Amino acid sequence: MNYDLVIKNGRIITAHTSYNADIAIQGEKIAAIGQNLAGEREIDASGKLVTPGAVDIHVHLQMPIGKFTSSDDFFTGTRAAALGGTTAVVDFIERQPGETMLEALAARRALADPKVAIDYGLHMTIGPNDITHLDEIPAAYAAGCGSFKLYMAYGLRLTDDQLLHAFRAIRAVNGLPVVHAENWDVICALVDENLANGNTTPHYHPLSRPALMEGEAAGRVIDIATLAGTRLHIFHVTCAETVGRIAAARARGLPVTGETCPQYLLNTQEVYDRSGVAGALPVCAPPIRGQEQQDALWRALGSGDLQLVTTDHCPFTRAEKETGIAANDFSQIPGGVPGIEVRYAAVYSQGVRHGVMTENQWVDACCTTPAKLAGFANKGDILAGYDADLVIFDPDKKVTLSTEFLHENVDWTLYEGVQLQGWTETTISRGRVIVENGKFVGRGGDGRFIKRRFSDSAIPILA
Ligand SMILES: [Zn+2]
């Protein structure tokens, strides 16, 4: 029989194995993997890698933060993601006063559904105002919010007792808590101290958010999660101190995972010493740190002490970043950097090509583990019956990153002039070719909200 679409002669890379075979797609699903398969349409992938579509479980599209909104909307952001080989993202919901969690979910979906070019999910944020709404968590989970975002920093931060109550409520529905771990009280003290001493430039941003206290917060939240009996995922790990806490928990058999992001893997804190707005652009939290920390993050990906790479994509324009410089106050710079398009190729080029990770670890960290962790049941792997979310990746293509080359809706990139070897050639989303020879041919609104949930036996019993 002829399938709808067959990818022929590629080298298939999964989290566990690499082999040569054809992949047949029927409708939205992978129908068969084998030799000499025939299709109504065939794409020759000779000399190319064929991988699952990459999954980015940490993105902020058109996210209001203070007086600004992150500059990529659900269309431009998911288009850039697709061009970089990403076929599913997870964004966020913040419940507004007077709304239920289900109403907040519906409002966010009303923004996203007509625009998304790839499939997506949503984390439900649990802030201090949501602690009296924890009884809505079962309804949010049933509606497809398999994961819940908790902050230990900013106005949305939870105190330790609030973290405990939230963890118990999330545990009761078998959801996944994801946490921004930093020590807010210490950060506020150091920011105040620096500003009072006239230390107002972005140079003082990383110095006000020390790695030691990121590790402290991670250790504390791991212990609270352990007490509550829940699994836990730590967002945007930047340093050996946090890696060590996660590795120690895992060595005790605890279901704790951690991610890092391209901004921490490809940059060092000297970026904050650039003059004027250039030093403000890389401001994000936790901050980009020194070379030793960057080396430690790569080692952790290679050893498995960190399990995945996401982006925390949250772009603001140069003009928006400039406001913090004009205010003479690094703490007023809107925090966040773009990265949704470069992640998959950056990890391949700087990780696999440089011998830090295997190609299977690359797929595991960018596709398979994020999909499994976030509860995407049929994504992140190449298996018959799975969604036909696939990438044809050219391992030899050399690209020089620049604002013009990338498609993120923002007027700068952290990776200007960076050369990568390896880039996405073709992206397939549930059987539809949406990127062809590096050109976007998809459509906003073709992506779908994916209800994420976990099997009831997913959490090991904790001590
Ligand atoms: Zn984030």
Question: Please, which contacts does 135-142 make with residues 24 or more away whose CB atoms are closer than 8 Å?
Answer: 135/169, 136/100, 136/101, 136/102, 137/101, 137/169, 137/170, 137/172, 137/173, 137/175, 138/172, 138/173, 139/100, 139/101, 139/102, 140/101, 140/102, 140/105, 141/173, 141/174, 141/175, 141/453
Secondary structure (3-state) at 120: strand
Look at residues 363, 268, 346, 253 and name the one whose alpha carbon lies nearest to residue 308.
Answer: 363
Taking only the tens place, the pLDDT of each residue in 19-72 is 999 999 999 999 999 999 999 999 999 999 999 999 999 999 999 998 999 999
- Ligand 1: centre distance to CA 188 (Å): 19
Domain coordinates of the chain in residue numbers? 54-374
Fold for domain 54-374? TIM Barrel (3.20.20)
- Ligand 1: centre distance to CA 270 (Å): 22
- Ligand 1: centre distance to CA 436 (Å): 30
Within 10 angstroms of residue 385's Cβ, the number of other Cβ atoms is: 8
- Ligand 1: centre distance to CA 286 (Å): 10
- Ligand 1: centre distance to CA 56 (Å): 11
Mean pLDDT (10-residue bins), the chain, 463 residues: 95 98 98 98 98 98 94 98 98 97 98 98 98 98 98 97 98 97 98 98 98 98 97 98 98 97 98 97 98 98 98 98 96 98 98 98 98 96 98 98 98 98 98 98 98 72 37
Q: Which residue has the tokens 């590629």?
A: 10
ω before 334 within 30° of 0 (cis)? no
Q: Give the C-alpha separation, 289 to 133, whole Å.
A: 37
- Ligand 1: centre distance to CA 44 (Å): 38
- Ligand 1: centre distance to CA 149 (Å): 9
- Ligand 1: centre distance to CA 446 (Å): 25
Burial class, 430, CB count within 10 angstroms (exposed 0-12 / middle 13-18 / buried 19+): buried
> Rg (Cα) of the chain, in Å, rounded?
21
DSSP string, 316-346: --HHHHHHHHHTT-GGGSPP-B--TTTHHHH
Secondary structure (3-state) at 10: strand
The pTM is what?
A: 0.97
- Ligand 1: centre distance to CA 58 (Å): 6
- Ligand 1: centre distance to CA 450 (Å): 20
3-state helix/strand/coil string of 157-178: ECCHHHHHHHHHHHHHCCCEEE
- Ligand 1: centre distance to CA 313 (Å): 7
- Ligand 1: centre distance to CA 358 (Å): 27
- Ligand 1: centre distance to CA 3 (Å): 40
Q: Give the C-alpha separation, 365 to 308, whole Å.
A: 4
- Ligand 1: centre distance to CA 417 (Å): 25
- What per-residue confidence (pLDDT) applies to 462? 39
Is 413 in contact with 403 (CB distance < 8 Å)? yes
